Amino acid sequence: DTGVSQDPRHKITKRGQNVTFRCDPISEHNRLYWYRQTLGQGPEFLTYFQNEAQLEKSRLLSDRFSAERPKGSFSTLEIQRTEQGDSAMYLCASSLLRTGNNGYTFGSGTRLTVV
């Protein structure tokens, strides 16, 4: 599969622990997005990068959340001091800048369960 890869697929963690997720976009895509999806809801935007620059962050992205894309390729999303409310599917997507909104491809997501 040469699409968007996310790792791990599932993560169970105890409340208060830190977790980190990884996203590998499609190689030629220079935009990378993070979304959060809770059960029965549509994906909610968290943040996006253009190359290595983080261009926008949602108000949903509290101080406990941090995302990086240091070399403009893969990205990591870290959640510190996890809370039960952080339990969700974390989706990554990538796209080509020049195609604007076209080419948006989602990864399979990382399902986080905080116990």
Task: State which residue, 25 or 109, has the beta carbon closest to other proteins.
Answer: 109
Who contacts 64 (Cβ-Cβ below 8 Å, separation ≥6)? Answer: 79, 80, 81, 82, 83
Q: Alpha-carbon distance 93 to 4, whole Å? A: 7
In the complex, least distance from residue 17 CB atom to other proteins, rounded to whole angstroms: 24
In the complex, least distance from residue 16 CB atom to other proteins, rounded to whole angstroms: 28
Q: Which residues bind other proteins (CB under 8 A)?
A: 33, 35, 40-45, 48, 55-56, 58, 91, 100-102, 104, 106-109
Task: State which residue, 84 or 101, has the beta carbon closest to other proteins.
Answer: 101
- Which of 30, 13, 35 lies closest to 89, judged by CA? 35
Q: Alpha-carbon distance 27 to 19, whole Å? A: 25
In the complex, least distance from residue 69 CB atom to other proteins, rounded to whole angstroms: 15
